[in-house]
Structure 1
C-alpha cells in the first residue's frame, strides 16, 4: 500500500447521462457532528449501550415507553447569545416536566426558505442542534462554530427520519423534528452520546444549501488517459499512447455541483493512482474501504494534489496527470519505487469542510 503523504505522515489506510459520486457512507466515522446522524452508531460495536449502561434510569425508560406522546407544537426555538435553545411550554426544555416523549416522528416547519426544493438524491448542507428529550440536555450543536454538515440523502446509514422528511423541504427552511427511540438509536441507545434506549430525540435544523449527488459527465479530452469508473470500485485507467506531461494536467471527468474546494479545507476523496509509464495501479483508497482525507495546501500530500484540487467542485471526478517533479521527485525516501515517475490519478471529491 502506498500513501500520498510526505515522509512521516500516515494517511488513512460515466455510465449514463448523470454520474453518481461515491457515497459519503464512511465519512460518519470521521466527523462527530455527522456521525451522530448515522444509524451505524446504533450498533453495539459503535458505542451502543444496553439498559444497564445507558444514561436513562429504568424509571425513565419505563416512563418513556408507557407515557403519552407529546406534541411538537408545544416546543419553541429561541435564540440565546446567538445560539438556538429549545423551550417547552415557555420554559427551557431541561426545566420542563420531562421526559418529552413521542411515539412517532414529528416534523414542523418553523420558517420557510426561498431556495431550491430538496430532492431525494441530493446532498443537503445543514446546521443543527440535537437535544435528548428524556434529560433535556444538549447532545450536539454545530451552531457554536457555525459549521455545517453535509447529508447524503441516499446514504442508508443516515437516520431514516432525515431521509424521509428532508426531501420536499426548501433551502432556507428551518425545521423542528422529534424522533422516537425506534427511529433514532433504538434498543442500543448510545452510551457515548448519553442517549438511552428509550430516549426521544429533538432536532432543530437549518437547511443551508443543497446540490445533486450525481454530476454531469464531461466529454473526454483527446490525448489524455481514458477512464472507466462506477464510483464503487477502483477506476480503470488506460494510459496507452499518452505523452509525458510538461506541466500538471487537471481535467474534470464528472462536473459536480457542490462548493469549490478551498485552500485550508479538509477534503474527503476516493482515488485510484497508476504510473504513466506502464499504467500499473500502485494505490487506491477503494481497497481500504474508506475515503482518504487531508488538508488542502498544507503539504500533507504531493504537490500535484495540493495544486490540482483547489477550485474543483465537491462531487466532481477529476483526472490528474502529474509530472514527476510535482509527484515524488527523482529520489523519494518514502516511496522509492515511484522515483522519477509521472503519475495519473482519478480523484472523486466526496466532501470538503
Structure 2
C-alpha cells in the first residue's frame, strides 16, 4: 500500500533577449510513439455519413501522447497518426476492432427491476455498479419483473472513419512519480504492462488533503489493466512501482 503523487515536472526554459521563453518550432517533426500530438478531427459513420463528433465543435484540438493508450483515444487513431507531420491531413479507417469493438450479444442481459432505479423506460441510459466498477447500459425492454439491458457501447460494431489534421507535435513532458510507502509489499511481484490489477484506493487533493473518491466507500475494488490508458496516466506509471 502506498501514496503516490504523479505530476509532470516543470520544464526549465531559457529566456531570450525579451525575457520571454524561446518557442521551439515543431515544423518537420513527425508523430512517433512518446510524442505529444494535437489533432483536429471529425468522426464519421460510414454507413450513413453521420458526423458523430468533431473537435472544432468542441472548440479545441484533441491532445494525447502517442502510444500511451490514453483514455478516450481509439486504437486506430493512435496508430493512424504515426508518421504524420504538422499540417498534414488524413482519413483513417476505423473498423470495429480499431474503434468501439465488435458487438457482443452476451452483453445483452436481463436485470431484475429490483436492482434498477424505479420507473426505468426503454431507451434510457443507466450506470450500474458491476463487479469491476461502474458500467453503462441502454434499457432495451421493460417487463413486469425484469428489464433487458444492453451493455455494448452504442457504436459497437459500427464501421467508422476519422478525418484528422495534425496541428502540433512536441516532446511529451516526462512523468514523475513520488511514492510514499504506507504498508510494504513483498518487494518481488511488481505489475507490468497489460497485467490485470484489483486495487482499493482513496483519492485526495494534494493541495488540501480533501478526499474526492474512494473505492472503499463503494465497497468494490477497481479492476483494470496496466498501461492501456483505462485510468489516469499517473496511475499507469505509479502502479508499476507497487509490489503485491
Q: Which has the higher strand share?
A: 2
Structure 2 length-normalised TM? 0.41
Structure 1 length-normalised TM? 0.30
**Bigger CA radius of gyration:** 1
